[in-house]
Structure 1
Amino acid sequence: MIRFALPLLAVAAMASPAMAADVQIQAQGPVVELSVSEVVKARPDIANVGSGVSTLAPTAVAAMQQNAKAMDAVIARIKALGIAKDDIQTAGINLSAQYDYDQAARKQVFRGYQASNTVNVTLRDVAKVGQVLDALVAAGATDINGPVLAIDDETTAKAQARKAAMERARTQALEYAKLAGYADIRLLDISESINIGRPMMLEKAVAADAIMNTSTPVEPGLVGTGVNVTVTYEMVR
């Protein structure tokens, strides 16, 4: 986004952590506003996976009891893989009646209650994601969501993206200033918003009888993290 404005520019500045004040900056020349996005890509070092169990039984009590037993086995397997307790979090528990539609009778036919329980797991060894997924299915997991690959600490990547965005913004603003007959620019305002470039979660259901002899392949690739910076410069002689 490129916008030219009149010489008088009003910007908001923080006076203290408790209050904000409006500061009037008098610009002698025209101003140019640029919005620049930069994304830095890096190897992911964590993977988030959803793992759970769905069970069907004639009664609600039976469905929940069967589900609890199966889920206990899955969680025990997760912990046995060396995953820390803080990296395991219950994502949802659901119980609902299930029906089939009888075409001949033209009515819903009750077939039981379905109970489901899912946990979100953070894996800190991306190379072993496929092995972990296979182990969870072998332990009784019937639902797998993910993986979502990410960078655990994005501080360095964001700093690199921020530096690149500011350098590009200044270069572009200076180019516009010179095209307009001005010699230099003066920074007036900066604002930033986060640009998340992570891939979306791939959702799929895995049946327990679909376990292969080989480990599930997972290619980590690269994930991106970045910022969007909006800067305003005054053109000066």
Structure 2
Amino acid sequence: MLRFAIPLLAATAIATPLAATEVQIQSSGPVIELTINEQVKAAPDIANVSAGVTSDAKTAVEAMQINAREMTSVINRIKALGIDEEDIQTTGVNLSARYDYDRTNQRQVFRGYSVSNRVSVKLREVARTGPVLDALVAAGATDISGPSFLIDDDTAAKAQAREAAMQTARERAMEYAGWAGYSGIRLLAVSETVQSSRPMLMEARVEMAAEPAVSTPIQPGMVSTGVSVTVKYEMTN
């Protein structure tokens, strides 16, 4: 984005996630405003997967009890893999009645109850994603989603993006100043919008809990993170 104006007064706003500071800076020359988006790619160090168990029975109580036993087996398997309890979170338990449609009589026929229970799991060793998915299925998981990959701490990557954005902004502002007949620029304001890392999503749906012959192949690839920086420069001589 490019804005070109000749203001009497320019306002500086340095934005952070926690606070914003406003400083009034007087400008006598033309002001140019640029918005630079900079992305940096990095190898992910976190993989998120979710696993669930769906159980059916004639009564709601029986369905809940069957599901509790099966899901406990899955959770125990997750913990046995060395995953911290704080990285395991229940995301939903659902109980619903099951009906089949009788085409002959054109009516719904009650068949029982269905219970589903899902947990999300944060894996801090991306290379273990495939074996963990296989272990979850072997433990009784009937539904798996993911994985999604992200960077746990992208501070360094964002700093790299920030530096590149400011360099690009300065170079571009100097070009505009030169085209407008000015020899220099003076920084007036900087504001930043932080962009979250973009996860790479994969989907794996498992219908049967069967021991696979080989480990599920997983390619984590790269994820991107970055910043959007808006700067204002005064053109000077």
In the superposition, the TM-score normalised over structure 2's length comes to: 0.91
Q: Where does 1:224-235 land on structure 2 (aligned, <5 Å)?
A: 224-235=224-235
Q: Quick one: which amino acid aligns to residue 148 of structure 1?
A: S
Task: Show CA shifts across 1:75-110 (max 9, x none).
Answer: 000000011111111111111122222222222222
Cα drift, residue 2 of structure 1: 0.6
C-alpha separation between the residues in 2 aligned to 1:177 and 1:24?
Answer: 22
C-alpha separation between the residues in 2 aligned to 1:204 and 1:235?
Answer: 55
Q: Quick one: which amino acid aligns to residue 96 of structure 2?
A: S
| Secondary structure, aligned partner of 1:140 | coil
1:128 aligns with 128
C-alpha separation between the residues in 1 aligned to 2:48 and 2:27?
Answer: 49
C-alpha separation between the residues in 1 aligned to 2:24 and 2:33?
Answer: 17
C-alpha separation between the residues in 2 aligned to 1:105 and 1:236?
Answer: 85
C-alpha separation between the residues in 2 aligned to 1:212 and 1:48?
Answer: 21
Aligned residues with identical type, % of pairs = 61
Cα drift, residue 203 of structure 1: 3.6
Question: Do the aligned partners of residues 81 and 97 (structure 1) sit closer, same or farther apart at CA in structure 2, a change above 3 Å counting?
Answer: same
Name structure 1 gaps, 5 residues minimum: none
| Secondary structure, aligned partner of 2:201 | coil
1:145 aligns with 145
Cα drift, residue 196 of structure 1: 2.8
Alignment length, in residue pairs?
234
2:176 aligns with 176
C-alpha separation between the residues in 1 aligned to 2:187 and 2:3?
Answer: 15
Query: Aligned-residue CA RMSD in angstroms?
Result: 2.0
| Secondary structure, aligned partner of 2:177 | helix
Q: Quick one: which amino acid aligns to residue 167 of structure 2?
A: E
Name structure 2 gaps, 5 residues minimum: none
Cα drift, residue 197 of structure 1: 4.2
2:166 aligns with 166
Q: Where does 1:1-237 land on structure 2 (aligned, <5 Å)?
A: 1-11=1-11, 13=13, 23-209=23-209, 211-237=211-237
Cα drift, residue 208 of structure 1: 2.4
Cα drift, residue 220 of structure 1: 1.2
Question: Do the aligned partners of residues 177 and 200 (structure 1) sit closer, same or farther apart at CA in structure 2, a change above 3 Å counting?
Answer: same
| Secondary structure, aligned partner of 2:83 | coil
C-alpha separation between the residues in 1 aligned to 2:199 and 2:20?
Answer: 37
Task: Show CA shifts across 1:26-53 (max 9, x none).
Answer: 2111111111111111111110111111
Cα drift, residue 188 of structure 1: 1.1
